[in-house]
Structure 1
Amino acid sequence: MIEKWQILKSNLVFDNEWVKIRQDEIELPNGKIIDDFFVIVRPDIALVFPVTQNQELVFVRQYRHAIGEILLELPAGGFDPAIESGEAAAHRELKEETGYVADQMIKLATIYDNPIKDTNKIHLFIAENVHLSGKQQLDITEDIEVQLIPVAKVMEKIVAGEINVSGTIAAILFGLNFLRDRSFRSAEY
């Protein structure tokens, strides 16, 4: 039977508004003690699967410094659940990164980002009939190009390796499933 690890001691070794690093001393179920298990405490993420009236997805292409690559992703951003709801963060991030807005967000799922070392979750939302409302409102580290991709072509982009960010792929799978299930339900009536 799998058992949880026991935290014997926990110290915050780095504290910044964007990331905190915690050093835990843990006891494994077999009795072994590990005194340097590091945990990264990061804000949660709101990620949007935004669909236009023309059945296109609104993507963002941007540079990601940690890996030194320009990536194609769905709009997303961090938030503190104690201060802002996931839905409010999803609306905010969609508008800031793309200039698009949605009348409604529907929660698709909550998934873990990297549960091996990170504490944060990704909250996935779908927004249908999004429309361009204004200009992007980017922060100093953002240089974002908006790209519209037909819903029918998005799986091809994943298979081709053009879309390769895990949270974006998860949102696409949940979003496509939502759209498919809704079309099946409406066909029954």
Structure 2
Amino acid sequence: MGDGNVSAAAADGAGDREAAGSSAGPTAEDVRDVPASWEVVESTEHFRARVISVRTDRVRMPGDQVADRDYIVHPGSVAVVALDEQDRVLLLRQYRHPVRRLLWELPAGIRDVQGEPLVDCAARELAEEAGYRAKTWHTLIDIYTSPGCSDERIRIFLARDLEAIPEEENGFVRMHEEVDMPVVWVPLADAVNRALTGMIHNAPAVAGILAAYAALPDGFAALRPADAEEA
């Protein structure tokens, strides 16, 4: 009898906590990144280079505390999951000095032309780095590469109906790391396996490969248009 009363009381308490949680906190339906900006008391730029700068912001935290947050300011990037008619993804290999590795990556580049539509930037990178153009474009996924220390945002596109650009039409001059940048076609399912087994490390490549694989079953019908606004 006593055990039954305890169980009933516990159940009532659990119900009360569940009800309180549902009214006091977010639910699964609320899971969506939204803009927010906490007060910046002071901001200091320590370093500025051709592409990035490094800043420290003094940010007012909950409880009226102020804390320093160091981060890299970046113009943003684009990347392209290029799929052929056999559902193979185009990957290229590039040396990345900070991590001292040759990484397999997607065609990608910095948003370095003011006012250029992102899909045009992606098409330019696909042409320059891989030598292909695409007739069909979709927005695949948006990611922040490392939001704890950088504001870099990458929009990853899906490009299909591909056509090789004749070499004489592609005036891109390869320099530095891009001089030795081989291109291979990998079955999408194989690329997924290589990402999951730690053979591919590049963040937009991993995200783009997994997103394309997830979007494949319905023929990419759920993807946003190429000119979708960034949320």
Q: Distance in 2 between matches of 1:180 and 1:73?
A: 23
* Unpaired runs of at least 5, structure 2: 1-24, 26-35, 223-231
Match among 202, 211, 219 for residue 174 of structure 1? 211
Q: Secondary structure at the match of 1:93?
A: helix
The root-mean-square deviation of aligned C-alpha atoms, in Å, is 2.4
Match among 167, 175, 179 for residue 139 of structure 1? 175
**What amino acid maps onto 1:30 in structure 2?**
G
Task: Give CA deviations for 1:151-178 in whole Å, capped at 9, x if unaligned.
Answer: 2322221233221222111111221222
Match among 23, 26, 45 for residue 59 of structure 2? 26
The answer to whether the 8 A contact 1:5-1:29 is kept is no
Per mean C-alpha deviation after superposition, the further-off stretch among 58-67 and 24-33 is 24-33
Q: Secondary structure at the match of 1:141?
A: helix
Q: Distance in 1 between matches of 2:93 and 2:159?
A: 19
- The structure with the greater share of residues assigned to strand is 1
Task: Give CA deviations for 1:14-34 in whole Å, capped at 9, x if unaligned.
Answer: 222310112212221122222
Cα distance change on mapping 1:50 and 1:183 into 2, 3 Å: closer
Paired position in structure 2 for 1:106: 138
Q: Distance in 1 between matches of 2:220 and 2:148?
A: 37
* Unpaired runs of at least 5, structure 1: none
The 5-angstrom pairing of residues 124-135 of structure 1 reads: 124-135=156-167
Task: Give CA deviations for 1:39-59 in whole Å, capped at 9, x if unaligned.
Answer: 211121111110112322110
Cα distance change on mapping 1:183 and 1:126 into 2, 3 Å: closer
Q: Distance in 2 between matches of 1:184 and 1:28?
A: 42
Q: Does 1:159 align with 2:196?
A: yes
Cα distance change on mapping 1:184 and 1:100 into 2, 3 Å: closer
TM-score (norm 2): 0.71
Q: Secondary structure at the match of 1:110?
A: strand
Q: Secondary structure at the match of 1:118?
A: coil
Match among 94, 114, 124 for residue 126 of structure 2? 94
Provide the aligned length of Structure 1 versus Structure 2.
Answer: 184
The 5-angstrom pairing of residues 5-154 of structure 1 reads: 5-34=38-67, 36-80=68-112, 82-135=114-167, 137=172, 138-142=174-178, 143-154=180-191
Sequence identity (%): 28
